[in-house]
A = this chain, B = another copy of it.
Amino acid sequence: MEPETVAPDTGLTIADAARASGLSVHTLRYYERAGLIGGVDRASSGHRRYSEADLAWLETICCLRATGMPIARIRRYAELVRAGAGNERERLALLEEHRAAVRAQLTEVQGHLAFVERKITTYEGILDE
C-alpha cells in the first residue's frame, strides 16, 4: 500500500489517520468504541475514511489526553460537540475546568522540576570536590 493513498472514496484510511495522528489503529478504533469519535465516513467496503475535520478532532482528543483528561470526560465533551449548537456554555465550563487543572499541574511540575534541579546541583557539588 502506498503511503497517503488516495482512497477510492474520499478521505484517509485508518492507517493514514494513525500515521497522521500518532495514535495506533487499535487506539483509533478503541476511541471510537469509547465514544470519543463518532460519524467517521465509511467507504463502500465498510472501511473507515477520515476527513480533515476528523483529524482536527483527533488532535483535540490527543491534546486533552496528553494533559491528563480521562477518557470518560473526553467522551462527555465529545457528546456535547456531537449534540450540536446550544450547549456552548457547558463545553466552555468543561474546558475552563480543564484549563484550571492543567495550570495546577503545570505549577506542580515546575515545583518538582526545581526540586530535581536542586538535587542535581547537590550531586554536581559532591563530584566537583
Determine which of B89, B98, B106 lies in contact with A110 in the assembled complex, contact meaning CB atoms within 8 Å.
Answer: B106
Smallest beta-carbon distance A77→chain B, Å: 10
Count identical subunits in the complex: 2
Interface of A is mostly: helix
Contact of A102 with B88 in the complex, beta carbons under 8 Å: no
Name the interface size band of chain A: 20 to 34
Contact of A95 with B113 in the complex, beta carbons under 8 Å: no
A126 beta carbon closer than 8 Å to chain B = yes
> Which residues of A approach B to under 8 Å, CB–CB?
60, 63-64, 66-67, 88-89, 91-92, 95-96, 98-99, 102-103, 105-106, 108-110, 112-113, 115-117, 119-120, 123-124, 126-127
